[in-house]
């Protein structure tokens, strides 16, 4: 199966972001992809974290989910819907959720970001726990024979989550890595997760200067089970594609049976 990572530079206009997402999904389908993934926060990079509250949807309702469902059906794609805000149990919070839509337009999986990002270097500071409610459930699904595990952005720094998906063919990491941390850690972490789990990794990202003043690292990437970068888009909107090859997965695991050697 060909897979596609869509990179965006989302802003505060939800309608414009949804149009861009649809255009990139169309481009993925035109390039022959059977699965396409959108970045974290594809529908909104607002001025304040709390902007997500007004946008939050109930599961199964709302314009963001309607767009994803229609695109999956019309384009005959598996869509990993980056993240969108889904109402949380706690008042004043949202879940940062990846919804997966199958080519029938139905929701095939839901994953709520487990690890909430916090960073403060004196110039930039983030604290997702102010508005987000953390998830707790690792989630995997089957995309036409491709066993796929789900994670979101900062989860990438927690290898124990990725281990829970073993064995799988692909792990998705929709992201909005900061420019500062991404420059140092993004590729290193993605390739490490691919190598240690001997699977493909698809990482669609936010990449560029956003209207809210934030700068994200981009470098949407597809990595193979040997840690080779198959495709990368440094900055700006666009789509990168690569093929998932079951023979490559089998070859890597047979030549270096590290997964079979796990003791802990």
> What DSSP designation does 225 have?
T
Residue pair 97/43 in contact (Cβ under 8 Å)? The answer is no
Q: Where are the beta strands (DSSP E) in 88-236?
A: 94-101, 107-112, 118-120, 125-127, 139-143, 146-150, 170-172, 200-203, 207-209, 215-217, 220-223, 229-233
Site string (34-53) toward ligand LYUYDEPV, x via CB under 6 A: ------x-------------
Q: How far is the CB of 83 from ligand LYUYDEPV (least distance, A)?
A: 9
Q: In the set 7, 17, 69, 181, which binds ligand LYUYDEPV (CB under 6 A)?
A: 181
Catalytic residue of the set 6, 113, 237, 241: 113
What is the token pair recorded at 64? 């963001």
Q: Cβ closer to ligand LYUYDEPV: 69 or 83?
A: 83
- Residue 201 phi, psi dihedral angles, 5° rounding: -130, 130
Tell me which residue has its CB nearest to ligand LYUYDEPV: 181
What is the token pair recorded at 242? 């690569």
Total binding residues toward ligand LYUYDEPV, as defined by CB under 6 A? 10
Known catalytic residue: 199? no
Q: By three-state DSSP, how is residue 118 classified?
A: strand
Nearest-10 Cα torsion for 222, 239, 126, 190: 0
Q: How far is the CB of 32 from ligand LYUYDEPV (least distance, A)?
A: 30
Catalytic residue of the set 6, 153, 199, 241: 153
Q: In the set 48, 61, 157, 209, which binds ligand LYUYDEPV (CB under 6 A)?
A: 157
Q: In the set 101, 141, 177, 200, which binds ligand LYUYDEPV (CB under 6 A)?
A: 177
What CA–CA distance (Å, rounded) separates 126 from 43?
19
Known catalytic residue: 40? yes
Q: Cβ closer to ligand LYUYDEPV: 82 or 103?
A: 82
Half-sphere exposure of 24 (CA within 13 A, CB side): 33
Q: Please report, as residue ranges, which positions from 70 to 129 form the binding site for ligand LYUYDEPV (by CB under 6 A).
A: 117
Q: In the set 33, 35, 176, 202, which binds ligand LYUYDEPV (CB under 6 A)?
A: 176
Q: How far is the CB of 26 from ligand LYUYDEPV (least distance, A)?
A: 26
The two beta strands, 146-150 and 170-172, are: parallel
Q: Which stretch binds ligand LYUYDEPV (CB under 6 A): 15-23, 158-166, 178-186, 222-230?
A: 178-186
Residue 57 makes CB contacts below 8 A (sequence gap 6+) with 63, 64, 65, 84, 85, 86, 87
| Binding of residue 200 to ligand LYUYDEPV (CB under 6 A) | no
> What DSSP designation does 260 have?
T
**Could you list the active site residues?**
40, 113, 153
Binding site for ligand LYUYDEPV (CB under 6 A): 40, 117, 153-154, 157, 176-178, 181, 185
């Amino acid at each position: 199966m060909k897979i596609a990572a869509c990179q965006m530079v989302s802003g505060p206009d939800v309608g414009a972001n949804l149009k861009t997402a649809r255009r990139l999904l169309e481009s993925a389908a035109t390039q022959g992809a059977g699965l396409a993934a959108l970045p974290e926060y594809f529908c909104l990079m607002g001025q304040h974290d709390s902007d997500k509250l007004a946008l939050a949807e109930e599961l199964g309702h709302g314009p963001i989910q309607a767009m994803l469902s229609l695109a999956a059906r019309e384009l005959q794609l598996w869509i990993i819907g980056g993240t969108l805000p889904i109402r949380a149990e706690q008042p004043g919070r949202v879940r940062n959720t990846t919804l997966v839509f199958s080519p029938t337009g139905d929701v095939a999986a839901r994953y709520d970001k487990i690890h909430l990002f916090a960073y403060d270097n004196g110039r930039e500071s983030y604290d997702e726990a102010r508005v987000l409610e953390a998830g707790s459930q690792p989630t995997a699904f089957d995309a036409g024979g491709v066993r796929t595990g789900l994670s979101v952005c900062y989860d990438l720094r927690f290898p124990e989550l990725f281990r829970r998906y073993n064995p799988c063919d692909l792990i998705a990491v929709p992201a909005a890595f900061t420019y500062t941390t991404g420059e140092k850690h993004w590729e290193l972490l993605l390739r490490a997760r691919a190598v240690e789990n001997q699977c493909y990794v698809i990482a669609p990202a936010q990449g560029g200067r956003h209207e809210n003043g934030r700068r994200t690292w981009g470098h949407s990437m597809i990595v193979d089970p040997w840690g080779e970068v198959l495709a990368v888009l440094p900055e700006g909107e666009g789509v990168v594609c690569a093929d998932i090859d079951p023979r490559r997965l089998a070859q890597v695991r047979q030549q270096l049976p590290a997964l079979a050697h796990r003791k802990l």
